Amino acid sequence: MAGKTALVTGAAGFIGSHLVDRLISDGYMVVGIDDLSSGKLENLPAEFDLRKMDIRDRELRSVIAEIRPDTVFHLAAQMSVSVSAKEPMLDADVNIGGSLNLLEGIRALGDNVARFVHFSSGGMVYGEPSVLPADESTPPRPLSPYGASKLATETYLPIYERLCGLQYSIMRLGNVYGPRQDPHGEAGVVAIFTKAMLTGKPLTIFGDGNDERDYVYVADVVDAVIMAADSGKPGPFNVATGIGTNPNRIFQLVAGFCNYSEKAVYGPPRPGDVNRIFLDVAKAKAELGWTPQVSLEDGLKTTVEWFKRQCN
């Protein structure tokens, strides 16, 4: 991919920074967009070309016109389910309005329209399917404004294909975990558990701890994203493991790696949370040649080791 240019929104975030590293390693010239509301500069390489701005900023279109990217990887988002439940208009403004601002910038490129890779949420778009694991033909029934905003952006992409010839891929991610995940907030139970255990703090499991999610390691996600970008195929593609794991099991495994002996505190479930979801990844295997490589145990061990180094 030498000579190719990529624009990564949310570049300083958890997944975005891992993607930046991979793109640079693959020979891309990479420019990042991030307002640093949750992303961290230390996640990025030294001298990295990061433009600090909100994806709703009209100046974003000028950046797209300046660098004329071959591929845009769109990760920047309002990603809190609870915030979306409290402030659905804010969630829509960032996740739908910001995405449309980005797409309009791409549309203005004319004949040299960039390829677009959209990061959606398999855990939130499908809601609570009656058949599991959920494949991409499962009717989407989001249970939160966040899930609805991610799905809404998906629906615009074939429209932009008609409007300006946009080529796109939709990635419906499971629960991504790994090094650099932010333990503050709600999105990363693995990071939250690990940080609390390593610092000897009590932690809370919401609900009874038996709800199931599909935990996928960040390096596997980056592999899938690169394969999709290279393939020219729209998807949507589930990017997960096909295995449901509950927070009680995550707690048990992480506690073992952290030598943590305290018991969890159980609290009320959060509004908008899904009780049980895991994803069929057969389509990604068939069309992209992708399968997850990192087991839950190995991924958690590597993640805990990274957090231990940060604590030293």
Q: What is the pLDDT at residue 204?
A: 87
Q: Give me 56's structure tokens.
A: 């709703």
pLDDT score, position 123: 85
Q: Which tokens sit at 275?
A: 């009780």
Q: What span, in angstroms and rounded, lies between the C-alpha atoms of 302 and 86?
A: 35
Coil/strand/helix, residue 115: strand
Q: In CATH, which of 3.20.20.10, 3.20.20.120, 3.40.50.300, 3.90.25.10 is domain 178-213+243-277+294-311?
A: 3.90.25.10
Walking along the chain (312 residues) 10 residues at a time, the average pLDDT comes out as 86 98 97 96 96 97 97 96 94 98 96 93 92 96 95 98 97 96 77 92 88 96 98 96 95 95 88 82 98 98 95 74
CA dihedral sign of residues 104, 138, 268, 180: negative
DSSP code at position 114: P
C-alpha distances (whole Å) from 96 to each of 55, 110, 151, 173, 221 are: 10, 22, 9, 18, 23
Question: Catalytic residue positions?
Answer: 146
Average pLDDT along the chain: 94
The predicted model scores a pTM of: 0.95
Q: What are the tens digits of pLDDT across the range 297-309?
A: 999 999 999 999 9
Residue 3's pLDDT is: 78
Domain spans of the chain? Answer: 5-175+216-239, 178-213+243-277+294-311
Name the CATH superfamily housing domain 5-175+216-239: NAD(P)-binding Rossmann-like Domain (3.40.50.720)
